[in-house]
Amino acid sequence: MTQLALFDLDHTLLPIDSDHEWGRFLVKTGVVDPAYYASENERFYDDYKAGRLDIFAFLAFALKPLAEHSREQLNSWHLTFMEEIIRPNIRPSALALVKKHQDQGDLCCVVTATNNFVTRPIVSAFGIDHLIATELEVIGDPTTGGFSGKVLGIPNFREGKVTRVEDWLSKQGLSWSALTESYFYSDSINDLPLMKKVSIAKPTNPDESLRKKALENNWPVLELFK
């Protein structure tokens, strides 16, 4: 029997939102129109935190800059993003949480709405092999080809996370019933569908709405960054 540990990324393993910070990074580096992009980036982020994000409108906005530049250029920017923004925000407490599950022999996976281009190097920095993210359509070679600006499959968001996790489990030769226990660590009310699906919900640095649900369901709250 297998024990599963699922982790959201933004404001769960990281004390920041990598999608939001990537947008701010593009503004800072002059890749996008600064006034427009900064304003829209904040608007979508506010919608996400309020639980009313139109994921398709956001993705149309966020993926446009990726489609306008080569993979080589994007990778170069991402290296800088990792060094300047992400690595300073990888905290010992988050690394210790992941290591605890790895030392137990648990199957560990990050499940995030943020796209796989932004998140794959971050997840690797945590030493986690498995990632379920919003997947981007690539033109040509999967490693070097450019991004089309479109999503491949369904966005890994809200109920979509449940669908994507179940598809992934099936590919591992697993199902919910085959698991001894399943954990899900998340900060966001948007992740309530998946939190209700696992056997052990772990609200982590929860937003106000998820904190209320945690009280209603007697889910112990984990404050990872205090």
**Residue 207 structure tokens:** 């937003």
Q: In DSSP terms, which residues pair with 202 in a beta bridge?
A: 185
Q: Give the integer Cα–Cα distance in Å for 59 and 169.
A: 25
Active site residue 103: no
Please work out, in degrees rounded to the nearest 5, the angle formed at the alpha carbon of residue 61 by the alpha carbons of 75 and 208: 100
Rounded CA separation 25/185 (Å)? 27
Among candidate residues 223, 184, 209, the one with its CA nearest the CA of residue 7: 184
For residues 58 and 60, give the distance between their C-alpha atoms in angstroms, rounded to a whole number: 5
| Residue 167 among the catalytic residues | no
Choose the catalytic residue: 8, 17, 19, 207. Answer: 8
For the record, the structure tokens of 35 come out as 């006034």
Return the structure tokens found at 128: 């986690």
Given 10, 106, 187, 191, which residue is catalytic? 10
Q: Known catalytic residues?
A: 8, 10
